[in-house]
């Protein structure tokens, strides 16, 4: 029997018991009625009303049944036709970057931003440079440019960014989060010059015919600086960035949010935020393997302390498909500038034994692991390490996760199912980069990215994610891509890999809760679970699927308390 079926049976039993207890005990604090309630539960997929007491759901079902919990002090909320769904749980995101996305210049292309040319990018960075927040990091920075969408079809260089400033360091972060471009002052600040060698797992791109850096930095040539710049040093600035990030998360319906690659500093910032009571939604961190010593602390737990916990470890094995740094077994059809034909990307950890040793430590210590692997060569490396660890420690309910898996092969999905690894795939790429993949890996491979249906049909729990701040943390847009799989140009990308709207909703609610070992208290609207809820402007399982991405979050409710309310329009 698959894990998904076991979970469904458990949920059904809980719902049956819960409905029978709807009229017991004191009255409800709040009742919601008057709109469709999508529970994400197989036992009762829809309901008419929900009752909450002390932050917990006490009744779900027909309005007449739920109304039995009403007393004089109960607040009764008429949804007026709007839709109530479980709080959103993204399979993979980076809360630490949400604040930087909110504070820095928006370099995203349409529909999330207005940067469609290099001139647009320069203009956006100049506007940020003229504002007050540049002092918080000392850098002029922005996030989200996409060379695949920019009219020039290239990355900005140091010369482009020198137009922003010749006095301050300037950083433009690629939409993948795996590359960035800096100006001449930025290169000098980092310490890169013609004499600098490429770091292992990274690359300093050079000017043609020269070793002089052109300003574009890949992977581990970029990431240490990126993390340092976007992690403010002072407690005041840390709190400011985090608050802006939390506001964005709640505005998109998150009631549980992940930091998918926490450093020592990021972990400590969350600990400090928890201590001062800043967190009003749950935050779970997965600590980068280079900082894994902090996992051996009281914060590594299945239970939250002041709404924070460490869930486990993050390992990154390669880079970005759209940035062409993902590690593949087949060559890219269109290699990056400066690369020879036959270029296949490259590993982040070239030594297989290092990966095997990391997994062995995780199995031995009981850590859940999220493994970033996009290219099929990286996934082969991952599978080999997991097989070795599982042979040594045996099967168990560990719920290790493959993050992204854009180029995962069908035989690799079989291996993931056998190893009981949860695929958290990235169908949002079908819209943002489906057309680009046609060029860089070919139409056949492009149709197979993020094979959600193939994974689900193998009986696996599967989740989807935003990887925000890669794009805005808009889970309705993720849901739309999971259902429609339509590229920017309108091309359908792998119609056989589509999920139904109900399945797509589960991938960001109950299945997300399962991935995080929290399905017993989150992810569906059932008696006994936390009242983590979202009010939507439309019903995602009833509207034209092409319009799912237009649905807005109107209200986010964490344990019965409203933490976000959209302004009237």
Q: Which phi and psi (to 5°) does residue 300 adopt?
A: -80, 105
Kindly give the residue spans of alpha helices, DSSP state H, lying in 366-484: 376-393, 410-418, 429-432, 434-440, 443-446, 452-457, 475-484
**pLDDT tens column, 394-431:** 999 999 999 999 999 999 999 999 999 999 999 999 99
CA 479 vs CA 46, 148, 157, 466, 519: distances in Å: 18, 23, 35, 10, 20
Contact 258, 281 (CB under 8 A): no
> For the CA atoms of the chain, what is the radius of gyration?
23
Does position 1 have pLDDT exceeding 50, yes or no? no
Q: Give 118's contacts (C-beta < 8 A, 6+ positions apart).
A: 150, 151, 152, 154, 156, 160
Could you tell me which CATH number the domain at 240-522 has?
Answer: 3.20.20.140
Q: What is the mean pLDDT of residues 96-121?
A: 93
Residue 436 has, within 13 A of its CA and on its CB side, a CA count of 20
- In this predicted structure, what is the pLDDT of residue 314? 98
Is the pLDDT assigned to residue 15 strictly greater than 80? no
**Rounded mean pLDDT of 381-401?**
97
SS3 248: helix
Q: So what's the architecture of 1-87+523-569 in CATH? A: Roll (2.30)
- Let me know if domain 95-229 sits in CATH 3.20.20.150: no
Mean per-residue pLDDT of the chain: 93
Q: What is the pLDDT of residue 306?
A: 98
Beta bridge pairs of residue 105: 142
Res. 352: pLDDT tops 50:
yes
Q: Report angle CA 229, 232, 236 to the nearest 5 degrees.
A: 165
For residues 483-494, give the mean pLDDT.
97
Domain boundaries in the chain?
Answer: 1-87+523-569, 95-229, 240-522
pLDDT of residue 25: 59
What's the pLDDT score for residue 22?
40
Residue 486 is given by DSSP the state B
Convert the pLDDT of each residue in 191-239 to its tens digit: 999 999 999 989 999 999 999 999 999 999 998 998 888 888 788 888 9
Instruction: List the one residue out of 99, 104, 82 whose CA is nearest residue 35.
Output: 82
For the cut 70, the answer to whether the pLDDT of residue 8 exceeds it is no
Q: How far is CA 213 from the centre of its chain?
A: 31
Return the DSSP state at 295.
G
The answer to whether residues 218 and 198 touch, using CB atoms and an 8 Å cutoff, is no
The whole-model pTM stands at 0.88
pLDDT of residue 549: 96
pLDDT band at 557 (very low <50, low <70, confident <90, very high): very high
**Percent of the chain having pLDDT more than 70?**
95
The predicted pLDDT at position 232 comes to 80
Question: What average pLDDT does this structure show over 249-272?
Answer: 96
Which phi and psi (to 5°) does residue 268 adopt? -65, -35
High-pLDDT (> 90) share of the chain, %: 87
- Owner of token pair 């433009």: 172
The predicted-structure confidence for 52-98, as pLDDT tens digits, reads as follows 999 999 999 999 999 999 999 999 999 999 999 999 999 999 999 89
Lowest mean pLDDT among 153-157, 334-338, 391-395, 448-452: 334-338
Confidence label for 568 from pLDDT (cuts 50, 70 and 90):
low
Query: Looking at beta carbons, which pairs linking 150-154 to residues 24 or more positions away fall under 8 Å?
Result: 150/109, 150/115, 150/116, 150/117, 150/118, 150/121, 151/116, 151/117, 151/118, 152/117, 152/118, 154/118, 154/337
């Amino acid at each position: 029997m698959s894990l998904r079926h076991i979970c469904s049976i458990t949920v059904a039993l809980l719902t049956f018991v819960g409905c029978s207890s709807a009229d017991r005990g004191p009255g409800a604090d709040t009742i919601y009625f008057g709109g469709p309630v999508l529970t994400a539960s197989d036992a009762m997929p829809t309901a008419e009303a929900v009752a909450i007491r002390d932050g917990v759901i006490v009744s779900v079902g027909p309005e007449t049944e739920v109304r039995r919990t009403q007393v004089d002090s109960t607040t009764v909320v008429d949804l007026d036709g709007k839709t109530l769904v479980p709080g959103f749980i993204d399979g993979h995101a980076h809360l630490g970057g949400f604040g930087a996305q909110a504070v820095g210049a928006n370099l995203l292309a349409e529909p999330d931003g207005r940067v469609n040319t290099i001139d647009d990018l320069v203009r956006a960075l100049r506007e940020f440079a003229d504002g007050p927040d540049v002092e918080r990091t000392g850098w002029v920075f922005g996030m989200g440019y996409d060379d695949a969408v920019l009219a020039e079809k290239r990355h900005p260089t140091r010369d482009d960014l020198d137009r922003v400033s010749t006095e301050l360091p300037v950083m433009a972060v690629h939409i993948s989060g795996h590359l960035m471009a800096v100006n001449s002052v930025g290169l000098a600040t980092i310490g890169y010059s013609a004499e600098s060698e490429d770091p292992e797992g990274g690359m300093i791109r050079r000017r043609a015919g020269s070793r002089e850096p052109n300003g574009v930095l890949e992977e581990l040539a970029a990431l240490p600086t990126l993390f340092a710049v976007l992690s403010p040093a002072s407690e005041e600035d840390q709190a400011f960035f985090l608050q802006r990030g939390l506001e964005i998360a709640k505005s998109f319906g998150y009631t549980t949010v992940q930091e998918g690659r926490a450093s020592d500093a990021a972990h400590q910032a969350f600990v400090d935020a928890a201590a001062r009571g800043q967190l009003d939604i749950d935050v779970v961190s997965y600590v980068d393997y280079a900082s894994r010593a902090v996992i051996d602390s009281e914060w590594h737990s299945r239970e939250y302390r002041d709404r924070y916990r460490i869930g486990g470890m993050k390992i990154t094995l390669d880079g970005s498909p759209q940035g062409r740094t993902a590690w593949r077994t087949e060559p890219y059809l269109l290699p990056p500038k400066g690369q020879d034909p036959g270029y296949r990307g490259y590993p982040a950890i070239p030594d297989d034994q290092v990966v095997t040793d990391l997994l062995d430590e995780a199995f031995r210590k009981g850590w859940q692991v999220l493994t970033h692997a996009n290219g099929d060569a990286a996934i082969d490396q991952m599978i080999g390490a997991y097989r070795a660890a599982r042979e040594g420690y045996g099967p168990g309910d560990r719920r290790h996760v493959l993050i992204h898996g854009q180029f995962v092969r069908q035989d690799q999905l079989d291996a993931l199912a056998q190893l009981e690894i949860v695929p958290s795939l990235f169908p949002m790429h079908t819209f943002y980069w489906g057309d680009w993949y046609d060029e860089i890996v070919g139409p056949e491979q492009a149709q197979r990215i993020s094979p959600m249906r193939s994974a689900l049909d193998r009986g696996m729990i599967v989740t989807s994610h935003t990887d925000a701040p890669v794009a805005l943390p808009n889970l309705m847009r993720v849901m739309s891509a999971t259902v429609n799989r339509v590229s920017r140009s309108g091309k359908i990308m792998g119609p056989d890999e589509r999920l139904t709207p109900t399945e797509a909703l589960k991938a960001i609610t109950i299945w997300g809760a399962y991935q995080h070992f929290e399905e017993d208290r989150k992810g569906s609207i059932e008696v006994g679970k936390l009242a983590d809820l979202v009010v939507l402007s439309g019903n995602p399982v009833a509207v034209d699927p092409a319009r799912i991405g237009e649905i807005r979050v109107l209200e986010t409710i964490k344990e019965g308390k409203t933490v976000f309310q959209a302004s009237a329009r």
